[in-house]
Structure formats: structure tokens, C-alpha cells
Structure 1
Amino acid sequence: MAAKRIAQSSINWTALAERVPANQKSSFGAFKTKADIYVRAVMANPESPPKINWAHYKNLVPVAGLVDSFQKQYDALSVPYPKDTYSSQVDTEIEQSKSDISSYKKASEERIKNYEREIGHLKSLMPYEQMTMEDYRDAFPDAALDPINKPTFWPHTPEEQVGYKSKEQIEAEKQGHH
């Protein structure tokens, strides 16, 4: 045979099962069952084709050369082992995934640092219950009311301000409707 016979599955099913989400456990179980059935079917067949007693058949078959012809064809028979054309693609995808994972980790670490800075800033502030409006303005200048530079009307929501347009109104104006 062209390939080495595999004695057992190279898949670590336990480690793989730990990564399967709970809602996909039944599909994973079905997949594992099919894989096990396939491995058992392959293992049920012999590694090499059975040996034939050609001398016995030469004595039984009266046609001269027929058994020799069959023997020659049988010995020349070669079932090609399929070439592995996917392992390189899988390896490439694994390396790409590792690269994506490492870049995601780096970006996540940056976000975590930013969030920790924000948390540190919030912890350094006095409690909201003790803040005055001036303290709030100093701590959060973008969110605080600024009646001098940006006067607003009560209840100080965007919908209640002069010149406010809803998303529907903006879309209608884009389409030429008034």
C-alpha cells in the first residue's frame, strides 16, 4: 500500500468536545458517531488485498494462460491513495487564525487598558451623590449642561431642542420630500 495504516483516530475528541457550545452538543455527537463508524469500517478491512493461491487455480482452470493473465492483472492492480491537497490549506487557515487571534488579543489588551484608565478616573471622582452641578461639569464637560455656550430647553433631551430633526425627517429631506 502507498500509505501507512492508521491504527486509531488522531482526533482528541475530549478536547474538541470541551470547545463545542452547549446548543451544538447533539450535532457534535452525531458527527463523532459518523466518524467512529467510518473508522470502524476502514479498520474492518485488511491492510493489504488477500493473497491468492494462483497454483491452485492453474490446476482447476483448463484454459491455458487465463489464470496467468488474471494473476498479471491482479498484481498490476494498484488503488491509488488520494493525495492530501487540503492539509496545506488547513495549515494556512490555522496560521491566519493564529494571526487574527493575536491581533484581536492585542486590540483587546488595549481596550482593557483604556477601560482600566476610565475606571481609575471614575474612582478618583467624588461620588455622584456629593457632586454639585459645577463638579459634574468639571468632571464631564461633554455631558454637562452649559447654559452659556450651549443653551438647551428643558428636559434637555435632543428631541426637545430647537432645530431637532428625527431620522425620518432627515431621510425624507434626502429624498426631496418636505
Structure 2
Amino acid sequence: MAKRIATSSVNWSALAERVPAEQRGSLTAFKTKSDAYLRRVMANPPEPPKINWAQYKQVVPIPGMVDTFQKQYEALKIPYPADTQTSQVEAQWNEIKKQIESFIQASNANIAKYQKEINDTKALLPYDQMTMEDYRDAYPNEALDPINRPTFWPHTPEDQPENWKEDPNAPAAH
């Protein structure tokens, strides 16, 4: 015999928090139907009523008919469907848990990295108080370094000789 479910196992308030505002009406309608179904199921007794076979034997004139019905009724077993999906759902949930954990770890690593960048930026001198040497110390790859990396004015990357592109339509130089 299947076990009787006394209450709904759905956490409706947690579900309502995740449902978009435009679909709340559909969720409310679904909850109403679910609650009505649960009330109808709970209105019935958990076990079917017992049949008084002795009374039927006295009333039915055909001998053996009630005995045949009683044997067939008692032999009747309505199978409760086997649960074949729970293991698949659990496997999917375990996979999702792993993905959630890896996402949380990656997010925490990003948070730590960005927090370090924020702290480094807060520790810098304000730009209006910075000297060229302070800027070079704070941003060594972006600062001008005329001795080790000389550049041409206006000192932008596209105006430097290593970034000049040959024009394929230009005449060849002799």
C-alpha cells in the first residue's frame, strides 16, 4: 500500500520568491488547484471501506456468486507505480550542486581579486597629488620610460614605429 501524504511538500513561499512578477498569477492558480486536489484526497479515508460479505451472502440468491466476488476483490491488487525518476533527479541535482559549488568558488576568487584591486586603488595617491615618479611606480607598464622604452611624440601606441603598418597601395621605396 502506498503511503499517505498528509501535507504538501512544496515550499510555496520559497517558490513564489523565484517566480517572475508576470507569472505570479499562474503560480497562484496552480497553488489553488494543488490545494483543492489535496483537500479532495484528504476527504477520503486512507483505506477503502470494508465490505460486509456476510450481508451480501444473505441477500444475493445465487449460491457462490458472493464468494467469487469476494475472492476476486481480495485478489485485486492495484499496483502503485514504481519510482523510476528519483535516481535520475538526484543525479541531476548532484551535478547541479557541483556546478553551483564551482561557480561559488570561482566567484569568491573573483571577489578576492577585485577586492585586492579596490584596496590597491584606494591605497594610491590621488592623481592630482601624484608626481611622474609616483605614476611610474604605480603603473610601470603604462608610464613613460625614455631610457628603457623610448617613444615618439605623442607617445600613443599607434604612433610608435613598431605599430606602423605598411600601406599595400603605396609605391615601393627605393
Structures share a fold, TM > 0.5? yes
Change in 2 beyond 3 A, CA 1:144/1:36 = farther
For 1:26 and 1:126, locate their aligned partners in 2 and report how far apart those are by CA, in whole Å: 55
Q: 4+ runs of 1 displaced by more than 4 Å?
A: 131-138, 141-154
Q: Return closer, same or farther for 1:134/1:63 CA change in 2, 3 Å cut-off.
A: same
Matches within 5 A, 1:103-142: 103-131=102-130, 136=135, 139-140=138-139
1:38 aligned partner: 37
Give 1:49's aligned amino acid. P
CA RMSD of aligned residues (A): 3.2
Q: Rate the CA distance shift 1:152–1:111 in 2: closer, same or farther, 3 A.
A: farther
CA-to-aligned-CA distance 1:147-167 (integer Å, 9 cap, x gap): 96565879x697xx865xxxx
Match of 1:17 in 2: 16
Corresponding residue of 2:94? 95
Q: Which runs of 5+ in 1 are unaligned?
A: 164-178
Give the alignment's TM-score, normalised by structure 2. Answer: 0.70
Deviation (angstroms), 1:137: 5.6
Helix, strand or coil at the partner of 1:6: coil
SS at match of 1:8: coil
Could you tell me how far 1:10 is from its partner in structure 2?
A: 2.4
Residue 24 (structure 1) shift: 3.6
One-letter amino acid matched to 2:93: I
Query: Could you list the runs of 5+ residues in structure 2 that have no partner in the other structure?
Result: 166-174
Q: Give the aligned partner of residue 63 of structure 1.
A: 62
Ranked by relative contact order (alpha carbons within 8 Å, sequence separation 6 or more), the top structure is: 1
TM-superposed deviation, 1:65: 1.7
CA distance in 1, matches of 2:142, 2:44: 74
Q: Which amino acid aligns with 2:49?
A: P
Which has the greater radius of gyration?
Answer: 2
2-structure distance, mates of 1:23, 1:114: 37
Among all aligned residue pairs of Structure 1 and Structure 2, give the percentage whose two residues are the same amino acid. 56
